Structure 1
């Protein structure tokens, strides 16, 4: 065992013990953090002055001062920050601007400050340290590690370094891991994903890869290229590969095909990263709950998802949340985010400590007929149906409404699925999907019982349809992902056209 693997173990024990002490008073820690955030900006920033933000006496006072807004609602403040103005949302100017794609705002520029950069770096580091402490497995640190990410090449906008979050984080990989890291800088800065992927294959073949990290569909593309090049499964190409780190999408729809590509089970760690902050990570192997980071510069609020669009929707702290209820996540942080609607929804699966699973996007739902189907429901529906049809492997999918004015062709949901291996009986597979969704969503079941909707339509797509769609948008690879479902047919028609 190498020196890195040996030394990581006492560090892992220290970090876990430290965090367990911090978790003894999570509610108090969060309220103290909010007080600290407001005190550090009161009178110093344009936002604090405009909203009369001062050291608060209660969370209720904070709610009165700072409304919930998404990126579009805070865009005037973000625009001033992006233009190089100091002391807008947080004292000084940001260290970085994280460039990310928005569904309504076009490109978004999220500030990362000197105070908030540690949240991103330490969160990813601690996820690995927790894994080491829980399992005793640290040998992966002695091999080669790959982080499939965006380009680390940053642009300078008004004196602020700007780029994709994954590229920014690449500059903060600890020195002791950097010599283990692949791909090379020259390969990592290639913008065209397919060209970059070929170069990554060139550089990693023959290397002792032990850890592979990235968004599952893009990792699958990497595995497919490796197997196409060699004719061998990943377990034979990388016999020392034993840890897969992922985030950004639900892993379940990709699990079967990805592990078939590998050829044997490997350990995995799920992360909950965003340009706005590193929120949580899987702290126990085998436990699907992600430990919420309550001492990392982010004050969390949770709005019941079904009430999110109400004018005075409740804003709950972690003191008030309940198990098994869907919440929209709202952040206030030392990145200069104030009452910021992240757009993600979560469900608590544990309150001691606070663990969540990510259930979808507050704006990515299907309710064209009043059913309000969410991402978690369609993912669980597909997973349950695939158990009944073990021959099926899915590469990617999305769900859209088919609204009809013609009584002869009633309205329904359309499931657009790219199969690696299709069902032997497509009609039976579609019927099982429909039955599973009815069981999972009572509103959808009511619409089906009332014949307002007829059984869903399954539309198999040709190989590579989703990749071609993402490429047509200039969003192939990196941190980009296809919405699981939508309330209109914009994404569906784009995929069909690209297919």
Structure 2
């Protein structure tokens, strides 16, 4: 065993004991976080606007701080951008994490000096928890690859700005830098296909032991290696023993990814977001992700059926029920207050609190991290029809095509046409360009050659009615989702293609 794997074990034991201490005292832990957040932010612009100095209890807080999305928080973000100090949190953010918005284009999520440990230590502690519970630490002595976005940062105002994965790359612990891959110059390549080729060149002969990344990106890495070598990943990387993933629903990728590897290996699921590192898998035996209650975030939960109510129920951790879907709300040392990140979660354990990520508040596609929502596809379709007035449609739905017969993955638009476009390719191009304009994440994936442009499957004009009838849901209030993050519906509706 090497020095890293030997020294990691006592550190892992220490971190695990700490983790157990706060995880089994959930209410007390969260109350301490709550008190600290309110006290620290009481002199900020936001704290003064919402009378933080008068807040003594959670009930006081709920009366003064409403639930917000990015649009509602945006005036405070704009103050920060113009150079104002002490807006949402004392001082100024160290970074803005650049992420895609739903109605306002690009969002700029603050990361403060106080919140950086949430992102960095949580990722580290996920590995240390794994080491302690399994005894496997040898992977630290080999090469580790983190498939991430470019670490090249821009500025917004005078604040360093970039994708979260690129920002985090600047904070990888020094003891891991020497065996981290890919190299920094390769990681800075923006075009994904070009970057992927360089990564393969650098890693193909290396003793890779840990591979981390968003599942579709990792799958593309594996596919390209197999194309080059004709071998399974286990035969290329015999030391590969741990896969770390997060960011999208893993289930559509699980079977193919592990088939590509060719042997069973351990995996760790994580739940990072630009707004904060929320949870990680702390056990190879018990299902679910451990909610990080002691990491600078005070959590609230709204029953999903009440989310759009004027005054929805807001619950603390000790008030949640098992197997019930909640919208996740955070208050954090990044300066986010009553902030809805748009995700829904379901608790499957209270001792400790472990959850599953069940989706988004609204229907969406995020098979590749693009977070495309219904409003965006509807706007894109309306625009395309305005530019191609000969077109008439009866209905449409959108689904990801993760494993196409040829070419890169893409979004498949299943469109029931009353009147077809004169030029279907031109119609597709108009749709795609408008969706890029509406969603910067989607545009990044297209420009980075991770996705190809969308494809339309023309359907019979009554395709959706036939589908709904076939499943006994024709009529009433039943609707086919405008978009989905899997192909359960798409693969059934495809039987009604114009050529079917």
Same fold (TM over 0.5): yes
SS for the counterpart of 2:6 is helix
Q: Within 2, Cα distance between the matches of 1:477 and 1:242? A: 33
Q: Is the 8 A contact 2:151 2:162 kept in 1?
A: yes
Q: Taking structure 1 as the reference length, what is the TM-score of the superposition?
A: 0.77
- Please show how residues 34-433 of structure 1 align to structure 2 within 5 Å: 34-42=34-42, 44-54=43-53, 56-364=55-363, 417-419=401-403
The Cα of 1:237 is off from its aligned counterpart by: 1.1
Q: Within 2, Cα distance between the matches of 1:149 and 1:323? A: 34
> Over aligned residues, Cα RMSD in angstroms?
3.5
Tell me, yes or no, if structure 1 residue 33 matches structure 2 residue 3. Answer: no
SS for the counterpart of 1:280 is strand
The Cα of 1:306 is off from its aligned counterpart by: 1.1
Q: Is the 8 A contact 1:211 1:243 kept in 2?
A: yes
The Cα of 1:347 is off from its aligned counterpart by: 0.2
Q: Within 2, Cα distance between the matches of 1:486 and 1:217? A: 26
Q: Within 1, Cα distance between the matches of 2:29 and 2:451? A: 34
Tell me, yes or no, if structure 1 residue 473 matches structure 2 residue 429. Answer: no
Q: Within 1, Cα distance between the matches of 2:257 and 2:353? A: 29
The Cα of 1:100 is off from its aligned counterpart by: 1.0
Q: For the structure 1 residues 249 and 473, does the alpha-carbon distance in structure 2 shift closer, same or farther, using more than 3 Å as the test? A: same
Q: Is the 8 A contact 1:364 1:486 kept in 2?
A: no
Q: Within 2, Cα distance between the matches of 1:212 and 1:101? A: 26
SS for the counterpart of 2:129 is helix
Q: For the structure 1 residues 149 and 338, does the alpha-carbon distance in structure 2 shift closer, same or farther, using more than 3 Å as the test? A: same
Please name the residue that 1:446 is paired with.
none
The Cα of 1:412 is off from its aligned counterpart by: 8.8
The runs of 5 or more residues in structure 2 that have no matched partner are: 382-392, 407-428, 453-478, 495-500
Q: Is the 8 A contact 1:218 1:477 kept in 2?
A: no
Q: Within 2, Cα distance between the matches of 1:284 and 1:181? A: 25
SS for the counterpart of 1:86 is coil
Q: Is the 8 A contact 1:155 1:163 kept in 2?
A: yes
Q: Within 2, Cα distance between the matches of 1:74 and 1:414? A: 30
Number of matched pairs? 417
Q: Within 2, Cα distance between the matches of 1:399 and 1:165? A: 21
Residues 125-155 of structure 1: CA deviation (Å, up to 9, x unaligned): 0000000011000000001001111111112
Q: Within 1, Cα distance between the matches of 2:19 and 2:271? A: 18
Q: Within 2, Cα distance between the matches of 1:109 and 1:476? A: 21
The runs of 5 or more residues in structure 1 that have no matched partner are: 366-374, 380-395, 404-408, 423-464
Q: Within 2, Cα distance between the matches of 1:187 and 1:331? A: 35
Q: Is the 8 A contact 1:245 1:270 kept in 2?
A: yes
Q: For the structure 1 residues 46 and 31, does the alpha-carbon distance in structure 2 shift closer, same or farther, using more than 3 Å as the test? A: same
Residues 213-242 of structure 1: CA deviation (Å, up to 9, x unaligned): 000011101111111122211111111111
Q: Within 2, Cα distance between the matches of 1:340 and 1:2? A: 44
Q: Within 2, Cα distance between the matches of 1:254 and 1:192? A: 23
Q: For the structure 1 residues 131 and 30, does the alpha-carbon distance in structure 2 shift closer, same or farther, using more than 3 Å as the test? A: same
Q: Within 2, Cα distance between the matches of 1:258 and 1:489? A: 24
SS for the counterpart of 1:288 is coil
Q: Taking structure 2 as the reference length, what is the TM-score of the superposition?
A: 0.77
Q: Within 1, Cα distance between the matches of 2:178 and 2:480? A: 43
Q: Is the 8 A contact 1:399 1:416 kept in 2?
A: no
